[in-house]
């Protein structure tokens, strides 16, 4: 791990999207609350070490509210991770498109799990300066759509696969192919990811895939069985600020808004 300041602007032209830093920024912002949903202090610490002009990013992200979308999504996935790892303490964890997420520190700070974080090489280079490889924690630099990288991940134990903020940026064909490769490689495990409704995906310039419900994914890959599907508004009672909790209450009463984004858990 590099203890110095990291010039993020120097990397922004090398395939590092502003969304990478944006998610980290929202998690760090949410951590400032007295009673945060996610409480990602590692995101806050990482943000302090990045040399970047955050003023334009703050205006673009409008963190007074958007941070709860990110926090609720991550908290649900963390809760599912914790449940799986309690049932399978010797499991392998594979985090696809990990970005600058500190999930491995939130859930396995001592590096006792066989945990693999995967992202494109530029992002992995940045991660190496922010988060140390320790214990059984390893970083893999590759695109999820590349061939070959999966050979580096052992398949001798149950696997927990997490893909947060990833699948909407892939095409349906890319998602289907990736899911097939994963279920062919690993004999058993769980897959956790967040997805956007098709109409939500169409509204975003960068989004390429939307899912109506988890049964769409079962049809893409019959080895996957939908275990849970949780809309983003499900745990709105966790929002510590009343005005935003009321907003999410309102969103929850409108089916289209309630189902605009959801977290999914599959077994195989």
Tell me the H-state helices in the chain.
18-30, 41-48, 55-61, 63-87, 103-107, 121-130, 172-185, 198-203, 214-220, 242-253, 255-258
Instruction: Tell me what pLDDT residue 15 has.
Output: 43
Domains and CATH numbers, the chain: 68-267 (3.40.50.150)
Q: Which residues contact 134 (CB under 8 A, 6 or more apart)?
A: 110, 111
**Count of CA atoms in the C-beta half-sphere (13 A) of 213:** 8
- The label of the residue with tokens 């499900």 reads 234
pLDDT tens by residue, the chain, 268 residues: 556 677 776 555 444 466 788 899 999 999 999 999 999 999 999 999 988 888 887 777 776 778 999 999 999 999 999 999 999 999 999 999 999 999 999 999 989 999 999 999 989 988 998 988 989 999 999 999 999 999 999 999 999 999 999 999 999 999 999 999 999 999 999 999 999 999 999 998 889 999 999 999 999 999 999 999 999 999 999 999 999 999 999 999 999 999 999 999 999 9
> Residue 205 has what pLDDT?
85
Residue 16, pLDDT score = 47
Total number of residues shown for the chain: 268
Please answer whether residues 178 and 193 qualify as being in contact, where contact means their C-beta atoms are separated by less than 8 angstroms: no
Write down the pLDDT at residue 223.
Answer: 98
The SS3 call for residue 167 is helix
Tokens of 118: 């995967």
């Amino acid at each position: 791990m590099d203890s110095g300041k990291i010039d993020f602007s120097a990397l922004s032209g090398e395939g590092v999207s502003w969304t990478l830093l944006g998610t980290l920024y929202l998690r760090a912002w949410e951590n400032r609350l007295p009673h945060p949903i996610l409480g990602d202090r590692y995101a806050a610490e990482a943000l302090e070490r990045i040399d970047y002009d955050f003023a334009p990013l703050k205006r673009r992200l409008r963190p007074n509210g958007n941070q709860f979308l990110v926090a609720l999504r991550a908290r649900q996935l963390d809760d599912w991770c914790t449940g799986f790892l309690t049932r399978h303490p010797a499991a392998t964890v594979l985090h696809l498109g990990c970005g600058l997420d500190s999930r491995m520190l939130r859930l396995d700070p001592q590096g006792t799990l066989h945990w693999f974080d995967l992202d494109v090489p530029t992002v992995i280079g940045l991660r190496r300066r922010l988060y140390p490889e320790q214990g059984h924690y390893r970083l893999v630099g590759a695109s999820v759509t590349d061939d070959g990288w999966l050979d580096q991940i052992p398949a001798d134990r149950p696997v927990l696969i997490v893909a947060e903020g990833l699948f909407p940026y892939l095409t349906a064909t890319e998602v289907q192919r990736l899911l097939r490769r994963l279920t062919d490689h690993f004999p058993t495990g769980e897959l956790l990811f967040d997805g956007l409704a098709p109409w939500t995906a169409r509204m975003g310039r960068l989004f390429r895939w939307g899912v109506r419900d988890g049964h769409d994914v079962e049809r893409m890959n019959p080895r996957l069985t939908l275990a849970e599907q949780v809309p983003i508004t499900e745990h709105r009672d966790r929002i510590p600020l009343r005005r935003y909790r009321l907003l999410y209450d309102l969103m929850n009463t409108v089916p289209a808004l309630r189902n605009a984004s959801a977290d999914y858990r599959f077994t195989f």
